[in-house]
Amino acid sequence: MKILQEYAGALTNFEVLDFLRSRGAGKDPTRLIAGIAPSEYKVYDYLEQTAASTQTRDIAIEFVQKCKEYNLAKAEILNILNIRPSCEAALYPIIEDWDIRFSVEEGKEEEELGLLKTICQVLPPPPSVMESGEGIGVEEEDNPDEQQKKAVE
Amino acid sequence: MVTLIVCFLLDLNYEMPRTCSIVCQVEIATLDQREMFCLSEIEHTLRLPPHLLNLPLAEAIKGELEGLFLDKVIAKLGLCISLYDIRSIDGGFIFPGDGASTYTVRFRLLMFRPFLGEVISARLKESSSTGLRLSLGFFDDIYIPRALLPSPSHDEPDPEDKNQVRWIWEFNEQNYPIDGMDEIRFRVHSIQYPSLPLEQDDGSKPFAPMLITGSLDADGLGPIAWWV
């Protein structure tokens, strides 16, 4: 066995889900007829629970175009697509140098909230949120928490 | 059988016209970070057993490759999830003394290989005094050692299960427990591929060819319920 290219491309979660669906993963209730192995079904089950299951190709393209104004790295955009953070705290571990890029100047805080709004508007919420019918109350709940979390650091 | 070969590769310098599909070139040299799922191109010399001669070639080779690689860990490449596509099939020679034909196949595998610093959601599998163990369904060997839990935390014996331990994070005089209800977000700290052990004692953990060590020690990590 020879490894020709260790890294031949990255795939977001929803592309993997799309690939599995195109082979017939979601259509077969018995899970025996479609030519998909049990280990692949486990991946399919995991991805169905994440935010990727409600995304489509058009949504992803639209999101990428809207993100151009925020100067995000490729990997950060892909990470946001995979995780779909719905509050500021969830964005902290994804975006590097958060303090330098977003919070130092006051003008930049609007950018950070703008990014969150874009995420909430463009990307559909993950399945568990949709089932329980929770609202996506972003800014109001988190501001007091955000100051506390900053105090820890 | 046509497999869709569409990859979502971004190029920040390239203006995407609205009508194009999401197939763009990526500059691999500048892409330091990778993604949870990625493709690896492999070339392998495959012996096709004679009892598969009645099947169309592509199907027979696909079946053989899946049996060989699926759900197995390849060192440095990660866990193989699926066969993405077959690029080329060469050969078909029959070696003397052998009834089977041998093909040289180039193909791409869909690998699970998270990069360092990536944030992933997982479920709690076990909780003990040395730390947590998380599971993704298809991959179970994710460990969060005690040192990488948010500080300060302490553990207390779980009221429901005698053998398990519950971890609680103290922050601003409030206690935040880690219970098994929610998804837990963790950041990948390191990935190791330990080599096969020569001997194993009975009763020790089964050998894990790929070990992910995670950390919960940052804002936004931990059970989702803590941050919503």
Domain match, A121 and A69 both? yes
Assigned domain for A146 exists? no
pLDDT of residue B40: 92
Domain match, A62 and A117 both? yes
Percent over 70 (pLDDT), chain B: 78
pLDDT of B172 higher than 50 = yes
pLDDT of B67 higher than 80 = yes
Domain match, A87 and A73 both? yes
pLDDT of residue B104: 93
- Which residue type is seen at A53? S
**Residue pair B132/B124 in contact by the 8 Å Cβ criterion:** yes
User: Tens digit of pLDDT for each residue in B44-61?
Assistant: 999 998 888 888 998 999
Tokens found for residue B223: 């059970």
Domain match, A122 and A60 both? yes
Assigned domain for A135 exists? no
pLDDT, chain A, mean: 73
Q: How far is A141 from chain B (nearest CA, A)?
A: 8
Q: How far is A113 from chain B (nearest CA, A)?
A: 16
Instruction: Report ipTM (2 d.p.).
Output: 0.75
**Residue pair B55/B34 in contact by the 8 Å Cβ criterion:** no
* Residue carrying the six token digits 């169309």: B56
pLDDT of B221 higher than 60 = yes
**Residue pair B182/A55 in contact by the 8 Å Cβ criterion:** no
Cβ contacts of residue B24 below 8 Å, gap of 6+? Answer: B9, B10, B11, B14, B16
Nearest to B123 by CA among B53, B190, B184: B184
Assigned domain for A136 exists? no
B36 contact residues in A (CB cutoff 8 A): 13, 82
Q: Give the separation between CA A53 and CA A44, rounded to whole angstroms.
A: 10
Packing angle, helices A106-122 and A57-67, rounded to 10: 170
Integer CA distances (angstroms), B168 to B132, B175, B219, B223, in order:
12, 6, 16, 11
Q: Where are the beta strands (DSSP E) in chain B?
A: 37-48, 73-74, 78-94, 101-112, 119-128, 131-135, 142-145, 153-157, 165-171, 174-178, 183-192, 211-215, 222-223
SS3 call for B61: helix
Assigned domain for A131 exists? no
pLDDT of B89 higher than 60 = yes
Domain match, A48 and A77 both? no
- Long-range contacts formed by A35-44: CB under 8 A, 24+ apart: A37/B66, A37/B70, A37/B71, A39/B70, A39/B71, A39/B81, A39/B138, A40/B70, A40/B81, A40/B82, A42/B137, A42/B138, A43/A16, A43/B81, A43/B82, A43/B112, A43/B137, A43/B138, A44/A17, A44/A20
Assigned domain for A100 exists? yes
Assigned domain for A132 exists? no
Q: Give the separation between CA B42 and CA A53, rounded to whole angstroms.
A: 29
Q: Give the separation between CA A90 and CA A77, rounded to whole angstroms.
A: 14
Domain match, A23 and A44 both? yes
Q: How far is B174 from chain A (nearest CA, A)?
A: 12
Domain match, A87 and A48 both? no
pLDDT of residue A128: 61
- B42 vs A15: CB contact, 8 Å cut-off? no
Q: List B85's β-bridge partners, or say none.
A: B108
With cut-offs at 50, 70 and 90, classify the pLDDT of residue B159.
low
The last residue of one of the domains, among A22, A38, A53, is A53
Domain match, A68 and A44 both? no
SS3 call for B49: coil
Q: Give the separation between CA B11 and CA B24, rounded to whole angstroms.
A: 7
With cut-offs at 50, 70 and 90, classify the pLDDT of residue B21.
very low
Q: Give the separation between CA B88 and CA B109, rounded to whole angstroms.
A: 14
Assigned domain for A24 exists? yes
pLDDT of residue B12: 39
pLDDT-flagged residues of chain A (< 70): 98-112, 128-153
Domain match, A19 and A69 both? no
pLDDT of residue B28: 31
Domain match, A99 and A121 both? yes
pLDDT of residue A33: 79
Q: Pick B81's closest partner by Cβ from A43, A87, A141.
A: A43
Most confidently modeled range among A81-85, B148-152, B213-217: B213-217
The last residue of one of the domains, among A38, A53, A68, is A53
pLDDT of residue B29: 30
- What is the span of the domain harbouring residue A107? 56-126
B118 contact residues in A (CB cutoff 8 A): 79
- B36 vs A13: CB contact, 8 Å cut-off? yes
Assigned domain for A76 exists? yes
- B219 vs A45: CB contact, 8 Å cut-off? no
Arithmetic mean of pLDDT, B131-137: 87
Domain match, A36 and A47 both? yes
B218 contact residues in A (CB cutoff 8 A): 92-93
Count of domains observed in chain A: 2
Q: Give the separation between CA B127 and CA B18, rounded to whole angstroms.
A: 49
Domain match, A70 and A105 both? yes
